[in-house]
Amino acid sequence: MRRWRVIVVAVLLAMVGTAVPLAATLYMSWQMALATQREQLGRVAAFALARTESIYADAANTLRSIAATDFEHCSPGHIAHMRQLAIASLATENIGYVGSGVMECDIWGIAQQRIPRGDDGRLLADGISLTVNDKPRYSRQRPSMVLRLAGYEVIVDQLRFFPSPSLLPGSIEIRAPGGTRLVTEDPGPDAVPVSVAAEPDEPQASAARSSAMGWTVVAGEARLSLAEHARNAELLLLPLALFLAGLFAGLAIWLSRRRLSPRGELALAVRNREFRAHYQPIVELATGRCIGAEALVRWQRPDGSLVRPDLFIPLAEETGFIGPITDHMVEAVVRDLGDVLRRDRRLHISINIGAADIGSGRILPVLDAALTDTGIEPQQIWLEATERGFVDIEGARHTLAALRRRGHMTAIDDFGTGYSGLKYLQRLPVDALKIDKSFIDAVGTEAPTSHVTEHIIAMARELKLRIVAEGVETEAQAAYLRQRGVDFAQGWLFSRALPPAEFTAFCTRNRKTFGVPANVATQAAE
């Protein structure tokens, strides 16, 4: 369940981690491509404008030259001079003399028909009147521009203004002073489209504008779409996408591994409070009466399975999570067995505490806070610590003494399995000693440890410590311990560790056998 959640999160992370930078890169490179497109169009517009101005200047100079002469109008010399000027000028198609309102002569000779003079057009700052998109009259059948001055007309083919379409990335629009758009007439498929009505900022098209002396050129092109750009950039972006996907997949795997490491799992379990307490009854060997229980932690995974403490307590001690786990256990005891403990003052619950908490004394305020106003007596809470908790002997002595002052009983757990011995026992204010299961197992066997049990019992007796035997599984072991005056025992012979409700039921059954304690009888009478 949890592993699946982590994997789903990891996959999502990889997808988002790849998609976001990829989209950002695509968007940024698209913006850059758009900027390049605008720049290109700007250059085209500037180029076309320079060309327009030079064509106009050429035609205007030709016009001014002819207007400055004083030939006899339409004399052979006059016509020859006009022809020379037209040949010398690149832009000029024809020059006509229209002094009397009709065309009298042009570079080809005396006019054969009476062609009326066109309209006056627009008077420019340089004194020349300009007409654009003029109907072709005495030149070829193309839209023409006519410059007029002092009875002369200079005709310019408007197509000259437009650079060859193959040189253009898009289309171009030229406007004469006054704003009139120059038309072209070529109808072929390669015709220069002049329909760019686009303004520079219109989103559908990219355009650039350049203007001087009243002339304006707008170069335009369909704006590069994001999809089109993505297609162009595919080859470049694909390796980046693969790289990012790989990177984030790796990162996700690394993260999920880290999350799912034993340490990560334990941290999560602490945060989610996945610990429960089970209670193993402790009985008085002489009578079989239940005098309490040891609280044993169980890690209940979200799927309901229980993890045994030996699988995670050592790790919890190592990583410092033992502190919060102990706190959960103290809370669990108060919550699970508060009623049972208030009802029967002779019952106690024994709680295991980690080595660090004994040395530091951290357990003291935890107990104080947990027991306040619960009606549970301190004598009803015993504490068990292994010899590892006594490495810091001064700290341990201080904590054990404080526990005793409060009324708690303390026991040395797993006694005999560590290196300590008498030396510790004499210097520490403990009340009881728990004989480890390994020694009980050896009872009645040929095992070399079998005689150690006897020594431990004798030593405890000498130091006036209570003895609890752990892991009693057979009646023979119980008889052996009973014979040697061992006070208490716990083990599968009596009961396994039980969930709270079952332990409560066990106590009720046990009480029926051994009688109702006095304080319960008085409570019932009230």
What element of type H or E holds 385? strand 381-385
CB-CB neighbours of 178 under 10 Å: 11
CB of 331 to Ca ion, least distance (A): 18
Does 414 contact ligand C2E by CB under 6 A? yes
For Ca ion, the binding residue among 414, 465, 487, 510 (CB under 5 A) is 414
CB-CB neighbours of 58 under 10 Å: 18
CB of 456 to Ca ion, least distance (A): 13
**Strand pairing report for 205-212 and 215-222:** antiparallel
Nearer to ligand C2E, 6 or 296 (CB): 296
With beta carbons less than 8 A apart as the criterion, state whether 275 and 332 touch.
yes
Q: At 10, phi and psi to the nearest 5? A: -65, -45
With beta carbons less than 8 A apart as the criterion, state whether 385 and 412 touch.
yes
Does 313 contact ligand C2E by CB under 6 A? yes
Over the range 408-446, which residues count as b (16 or more CB within 10 Å of their CB) and which as e?
bbbbbbbbbebebeeebbeebebbbbbbbbbbbbbbeee
Q: How far apart are CA 272 and CA 320, in angstroms?
A: 16
Q: At 393, phi and psi to the nearest 5? A: -65, -35
Largest Cα–Cα distance of the chain, in whole Å?
A: 157
Does 296 contact ligand C2E by CB under 6 A? yes
Nearer to ligand C2E, 157 or 357 (CB): 357
Does 473 contact ligand C2E by CB under 6 A? yes
Per partner kind, with CB cut-offs from 5 to 8 A, the member of Ca ion, ligand C2E, none near residue 354 is ligand C2E
- How many residues make contact with Ca ion (CB under 5 A)? 6
Does 315 contact ligand C2E by CB under 6 A? no
For ligand C2E, the binding residue among 96, 281, 471, 500 (CB under 6 A) is 471
**Tokens representing residue 210 in the block:** 């350049």
Binding segment for ligand C2E (CB under 6 A), chosen from 121-129, 151-159, 303-311, 443-451, is 303-311
With beta carbons less than 8 A apart as the criterion, state whether 277 and 295 touch.
yes
With beta carbons less than 8 A apart as the criterion, state whether 417 and 436 touch.
yes
What element of type H or E holds 148? strand 144-149
Nearer to Ca ion, 102 or 306 (CB): 306
Does 357 contact Ca ion by CB under 5 A? no
CB of 354 to ligand C2E, least distance (A): 5
CB of 279 to ligand C2E, least distance (A): 10
Binding segment for Ca ion (CB under 5 A), chosen from 42-50, 83-91, 349-357, 442-450, is 349-357
Nearer to ligand C2E, 106 or 384 (CB): 384
- Using DSSP's 3-state secondary structure scheme, residue 100 falls into coil
With beta carbons less than 8 A apart as the criterion, state whether 63 and 152 touch.
yes
Per partner kind, with CB cut-offs from 5 to 8 A, the member of Ca ion, ligand C2E, none near residue 296 is ligand C2E
Residue of 332, 276, 336, 334 lying closest to 301 (CA atoms): 276
**Strand pairing report for 109-110 and 122-123:** unpaired
Nearer to ligand C2E, 103 or 283 (CB): 283
Nearer to ligand C2E, 47 or 506 (CB): 506
Does 292 contact ligand C2E by CB under 6 A? no
For ligand C2E, the binding residue among 18, 89, 92, 490 (CB under 6 A) is 490
Interface of this chain with Ca ion, residues 421 to 450, rule: CB under 5 A: 436
Find where tokens 């797993």 sit: 414
For ligand C2E, the binding residue among 14, 85, 244, 297 (CB under 6 A) is 297
Q: How far apart are CA 457 and CA 435, in angstroms?
A: 8
- How many residues make contact with ligand C2E (CB under 6 A)? 25
**Strand pairing report for 409-415 and 381-385:** parallel
Q: At 37, phi and psi to the nearest 5? A: -60, -45
Per partner kind, with CB cut-offs from 5 to 8 A, the member of ligand C2E, Ca ion, none near residue 58 is none
Nearer to ligand C2E, 94 or 410 (CB): 410
- Bridge partner residues of 454 (DSSP): none
For Ca ion, the binding residue among 58, 413, 441, 487 (CB under 5 A) is 413
Does 352 contact Ca ion by CB under 5 A? yes
Encoded one letter per residue, x for contact with Ca ion by CB under 5 A and - for no contact, window 458-497 reads ------------x---------------------------
With beta carbons less than 8 A apart as the criterion, state whether 372 and 336 touch.
no
Does 491 contact ligand C2E by CB under 6 A? yes
Binding segment for Ca ion (CB under 5 A), chosen from 143-151, 326-334, 351-359, 452-460, is 351-359
**Strand pairing report for 215-222 and 466-470:** unpaired
Encoded one letter per residue, x for contact with ligand C2E by CB under 6 A and - for no contact, window 326-365 reads x--x----------------------xxx-----------
Task: Give the Å distances, CA to CA, from 162 to 73, 167, 194, 199, 252.
Answer: 34, 10, 10, 19, 59
Per partner kind, with CB cut-offs from 5 to 8 A, the member of ligand C2E, Ca ion, none near residue 208 is none
Per partner kind, with CB cut-offs from 5 to 8 A, the member of Ca ion, ligand C2E, none near residue 492 is ligand C2E
Q: How far apart are CA 282 and CA 486, in angstroms?
A: 13
Does 456 contact ligand C2E by CB under 6 A? no
Task: Give the Å distances, CA to CA, from 383 to 111, 400, 413, 460.
Answer: 130, 9, 9, 18
Interface of this chain with ligand C2E, residues 109 to 128, rule: CB under 6 A: none
With beta carbons less than 8 A apart as the criterion, state whether 215 and 176 touch.
yes
Nearer to ligand C2E, 265 or 357 (CB): 357
Does 281 contact ligand C2E by CB under 6 A? no
Contact residues for ligand C2E (CB under 6 A)?
Answer: 280, 295-297, 308-310, 313, 322, 326, 329, 352-354, 413-414, 437, 470-473, 490-492, 497
Contact residues for Ca ion (CB under 5 A)?
Answer: 352, 384, 413-414, 436, 470
